Structure 1
Amino acid sequence: MGTVTPFPVPAARAAAQIGFERAELTRILDLYGRMVAAGHWRDYAMDMGRDAAIFSAFRRAAERPEFRIEKRPALRGRQGMWALVGEGGAVLKRGHDLAAVLAPVERRLLKLVAE
């Protein structure tokens, strides 16, 4: 019998796409659902790329996203792989824990319900 030689795969193609894990996406969509129920958000978009996975929340579909939740695993050892980016593009919160990064939006939800 012949020898089977595996086809070489470049190392750069090993991580071709970054995505959200089930628990992370559940946490994000739970927050999104509560913001929709409060009447604050109406649409969302997800972008899975080579460098980052991004969840964008919109007040209206035709605008820029009010918040972007970004997961960048390359920054895991530095500032943290999670970032909350505002409408103007400024990083509002960065960290290693998703719950801590989502805290400013959670507080905003509490203020919306209290009014």
Structure 2
Amino acid sequence: MTQPPSIPFPGPGKPEDKVAFDRAELGVILGLYGRAVAAGEWRDYGMSFLRDVAIFSIFRRSAEHPLYRIEKRPRLRLRQGQYAVIGMDGQVLKRGHDLKTVLAVLDRKLIRAVD
């Protein structure tokens, strides 16, 4: 009896299957998130790690659609930049190569909300 050829099955723990934020990127994102929570603007977040994109979603309340999505798409690294901030309506608010520069659009909105 011969065994059938094995078909490679992408297991749930393979890091090469998913895009993720690294520790430094999460530090920058969570720093901004912490300031917004302290200001009372944001309340919840969610993260999704997919094959071609990592998404950090920001919510005012947990049962709503996200106010903002911070996306990392490595395929766009050589074009418009791999980082993007997307608003609730799907409009790209800022896109670029440097995460801190891209997140500045949210930092400015946070400063206006606190004043």
**Structure 2 length as normaliser, TM-score?**
0.85
Structure-2 change in CA distance of 1:58 and 1:14 (3 Å)? closer
Q: 1:4: which partner in 2?
A: none
Structure 1 runs of 4+ aligned residues shifted over 2 Å read none
CA distance in 2, matches of 1:109, 1:76: 27
CA distance in 2, matches of 1:33, 1:17: 26
CA distance in 2, matches of 1:110, 1:78: 30
Structure-2 change in CA distance of 1:17 and 1:87 (3 Å)? same
Q: 1:108: which partner in 2?
A: 109
CA distance in 1, matches of 2:102, 2:83: 7
CA distance in 2, matches of 1:79, 1:65: 23
Alignment coverage as a number of residue pairs: 103
CA distance in 1, matches of 2:37, 2:15: 37
Q: Percent identity?
A: 58
Q: 2:3: which partner in 1?
A: none
Q: Letter of the 2:64 partner, please give it.
A: E
Offset from partner CA, 1:58-110 (integer Å, 9 cap, x none): 01111110000000000000000000000011111100000111011101111
Q: How does 1:82-93 map to 2 (within 5 A)?
A: 82-93=83-94
SS in 1 for 2:32: helix
Matched, 1:80 2:87: no
Q: Letter of the 1:49 partner, please give it.
A: L
CA distance in 1, matches of 2:93, 2:15: 31
CA distance in 2, matches of 1:37, 1:17: 31
Cα offset for 1:113?
A: 2.1
Q: 1:5: which partner in 2?
A: none
CA distance in 2, matches of 1:86, 1:56: 10
- Which structure 1 segments of 5+ residues have no match? 1-8
RMSD: 1.4
- Which structure 2 segments of 5+ residues have no match? 1-7, 9-13
Offset from partner CA, 1:19-65 (integer Å, 9 cap, x none): 11101000000100110000000000000010000000001111110
CA distance in 2, matches of 1:72, 1:39: 29
Q: 1:49: which partner in 2?
A: 50
